[in-house]
Structure 1
Amino acid sequence: MSSTQQAPIGVGIVGLSARRGWASQAHLPALQQLDGFELRALSASSAESARQAAEKYGVARSFGTAGELAAADEVDLVVVTVKVPDHREIIQSALAAGKMVFSEWPLGNGLAEAEELATTAAERGLRTFTGLQARSAPAVRYLRDLVADGYVGEVLSTSLVASGGGWGAVFPENGAYLLDRANGATMLTIPFGHTMSGLTMVLGDVEKVTAVTATRHREVKDPQSGRVYRPDVADQVVFGGVLSSGAVASVHYRGGISRGTNFHWEINGTDGDLVVTGDTGHLQLGEFTIEGAHGSDAELSRLTVPERYFDPALQELRGTPAYNVGAAYAQIRRDLTHGGSEVPDFVHGARHHRLLDRIERAAEHA
């Protein structure tokens, strides 16, 4: 592949809409800033919707189905940005066409689907990438290096409290499917899942699990239609456990937005402390402040993320949700060029699903 890796990677996005959506907010701006990629095709909910999006964004080819997009010769990488229940069928069609796949998180609707997708990709020998973008965030990568370099000494414990944003008293626009556990897009899988991916990147894998979940918002009203929904997804997730290092961990996610703290993460060690704060529980897309103290320091001070953790090509996207997605694309390019594995693949994605499944099962038996 070395002769082709210098050529642009042809991208086809499944779910790029002319009206709204994560693909237009994050993936499109990221690809527009980066060399080494060409957005060559898109598909949407219908052929007409795809045509409108292609015209709006200047994309050469549009398709009414993901299968048609995956079969197009000019597409090297299929990017899946649709709702979770549709991931399996779309990803399987892309893998059947022999294409690389970059799927937004959650990878599948539950553990079984994620494991199936990882197995299929491995059997076909195809490169895959999972959108756990918190691991691409400069602040998270800096935290990982601070801990690895001994800033806090031996990590004794970590504690995190955050708000999910959704899954509260306010009904999210076009978000009814988030209130149905069967759809796999819950507070546990999305903000909690992304943040746990970042936490384990910084501090290591989870060994022991205890958990409690609850649904405290029993009725949620759509302010536009007046319709009342009765969610069956947890809006309270409490995880307690032990990491592979022996450090003790606790994480509490609450649905909605707090008037107090919406993200506070402490890492406490034998020689120092780190504190991360922000205004959202979505570690994969928010802006966060790091403070620290170690050795003889009497109080916390601001730790600015060094410029080397930022990609100059993405300068215009700093402070936007598109930055971490762009950083993931840049890492994908490096992985394909140098044979690396910086971006989580489907095997990693299935393993992370397995952790969330352990937490969910622990809560059921609590």
Structure 2
Amino acid sequence: MREQAVANTGVHMTSTSPREGLIRVGVVGLSASGGWAATAHVPALAGLDGYELRALSASTAESARAAGEKYAVPLTFDSAEELARSEEVDLVVVTVKVPHHLELIRPALEAGKMVFSEWPLGADLAQAEELADLAHRRGVLTGVGLQARSAPPLRYLRDLVADGYVGRMLSTSMLGSGWIGGATYDDNYAYVLDVTSGATLPSIPFGHSADALTMVLGEFREVSALIENLRLEVVHITSGVVAAKTAEDQIAVTGVLESGAVAAMHFRGGTSRATAFHWEINGTDGDVVVKADQAQWWYGGLRLYGARGSDDAPIELPIPARYQRSLTQWTERTTEPACNVAHEYALLRDQITGNLAPDEDGVPDFRHAVRRHGTLERIREAARTGRKVALAGQGT
């Protein structure tokens, strides 16, 4: 059953020759003032064998120098192009806002460097396809930050389902809060109010969640969907300035998985006083519940509960140590944003060095990102037309 589960993940990485010594990382978008690179990538790389944070780039030479001093990064550049050309960088990591992905990833691919990009890969499917095509032509290894796939609880869950814990799967239901798309906004996230930014409730919270669901349970065969913008105006959290919002704040998808099971997903903008994240998997022999206390559940902090046979109620399922990949420093820090990113870097390292176990899949690559962008496009089509839409061919 395990071999079948791996084969159905639809994840492949562009091949590369294993490198000797440390993998030298250059981060595009690491800032002294904070941000996702500082919050997640720097802590994830710290203490992780096999990597050296060697370089960074920022929008100006001054900001690059400030970040270099703060994070003790020896090489600083004021452009992604310069960083990509450096012979002291093996892996380029792009952590900037989605609208800038295309322009900042392209130089690294053209320089023949391995590239890891945050999700979404592009602002839309066309941009993702352009980057995946360029990576294929250059023959470079790529990865995309769908880090829930690297989370130990979800890897364990996938194996539980594949090994028959719930029996024949009948249905699955997922309810989540979107974090973005709420009643307020701040300066850092003003850009997500624009539906064309590519950083929206459907693409980020729902995109991470749909990718996790399909990793564990298989792809959708067909979907119906509703995607709505019910908050046309939102308020700045400190100034009180009212801004127009075109990005959607509600997405509800129902469908049938390739297994024949019925699936329902609903994500709401902002946060809920009741439920941050709740996911049930129901089968003929058992049930599994996945819970998290934060809307950005793909960061970490997942808990699994299960019941089967004569069990009266679900009990918490401990995650076997083998799923931790020896990252013992994270076993008590699972709610930190860097937790699943660290597990993703560990998988990526083992791919680069050729040390993945034969039955283990690695992190998703740019081709996988294109498939997931395609899934989201089909869901938008279903919402736009009000009809069921087939997703045949979206998996591999």
Q: How does 1:78-93 map to 2 (within 5 A)?
A: 78-93=92-107
Distance between the aligned counterparts of 1:33 and 1:294, measured in 2?
40
Distance between the aligned counterparts of 2:257 and 2:355, measured in 1?
30
Q: Which amino acid aligns with 2:293?
A: D
Local SS of the residue matching 1:194: helix
Q: Which amino acid aligns with 2:101?
A: H
2:225 is matched with which residue? 211
1:314 CA displacement: 5.1
1:331 aligns with 2:351: no
Structure 1, gaps ≥5 residues long: none
Distance between the aligned counterparts of 2:61 and 2:334, measured in 1?
34
1:50 aligns with 2:64: yes
Q: How does 1:13-32 map to 2 (within 5 A)?
A: 13-32=27-46
1:320 aligns with 2:340: no
2:378 is matched with which residue? 358
Quick check: 161-170 or 182-191, which moved more? 161-170
Q: Which amino acid aligns with 2:336?
A: T
1:277 CA displacement: 1.4
Q: Which amino acid aligns with 2:382?
A: A
1:134 CA displacement: 0.5
Distance between the aligned counterparts of 1:63 and 1:308, measured in 2?
39
Q: Deviations over 1:75-114 (max 9, x none)?
A: 0100000000110111111001010000000001110111
2:188 is matched with which residue? 174
Local SS of the residue matching 1:174: helix
1:195 is matched with which residue? 209
Instruction: Quickly say closer, same or farther: Cα 1:3–1:122, change in 2 above 3 A.
Output: closer
Local SS of the residue matching 2:375: helix
Local SS of the residue matching 1:86: helix
Q: How does 1:210-229 map to 2 (within 5 A)?
A: 210-229=224-243
- Of 309, 312, 324, which aligns to 1:295? 309
Instruction: Quickly say closer, same or farther: Cα 1:173–1:355, change in 2 above 3 A.
Output: same
Q: Deviations over 1:92-142 (max 9, x none)?
A: 110010100000000011101111111110111110001100101111111
1:346 aligns with 2:360: no
Local SS of the residue matching 1:327: helix
1:33 aligns with 2:47: yes
Paired residues, what number?
Answer: 366
2:5 is matched with which residue? none
Local SS of the residue matching 2:199: coil
1:236 CA displacement: 0.4
Local SS of the residue matching 1:297: coil
1:305 CA displacement: 1.5
Q: Which amino acid aligns with 2:237?
A: P
Distance between the aligned counterparts of 2:219 and 2:297, measured in 1?
18
Q: What is the percentage of aligned positions where both structures have the same residue?
A: 55
1:334 CA displacement: 0.7
Say whether the 8 Å CA contact 2:234–2:243 is kept in structure 1.
yes
- For the aligned residue pairs, the C-alpha RMSD in angstroms reads 1.6
Q: Which amino acid aligns with 1:139?
A: P
Local SS of the residue matching 1:312: coil
2:6 is matched with which residue? none
- Per the normalisation by structure 1, the TM-score is 0.97
Q: Deviations over 1:272-303 (max 9, x none)?
A: 10111112232311412211111221221111
Q: Which amino acid aligns with 2:266?
A: H
Distance between the aligned counterparts of 1:288 and 1:51, measured in 2?
37
Say whether the 8 Å CA contact 1:115–1:350 is kept in structure 2.
yes
Quick check: 278-287 or 149-158, which moved more? 278-287
Q: How does 1:245-256 map to 2 (within 5 A)?
A: 245-256=259-270
Distance between the aligned counterparts of 2:169 and 2:187, measured in 1?
41
Say whether the 8 Å CA contact 1:18–1:49 is kept in structure 2.
yes
Q: Which amino acid aligns with 2:160?
A: L
Quick check: 177-186 or 338-347, which moved more? 338-347
Say whether the 8 Å CA contact 2:175–2:265 is kept in structure 1.
yes
1:271 is matched with which residue? 285
Say whether the 8 Å CA contact 2:27–2:92 is kept in structure 1.
yes
Distance between the aligned counterparts of 1:8 and 1:314, measured in 2?
21
Say whether the 8 Å CA contact 2:80–2:104 is kept in structure 1.
yes
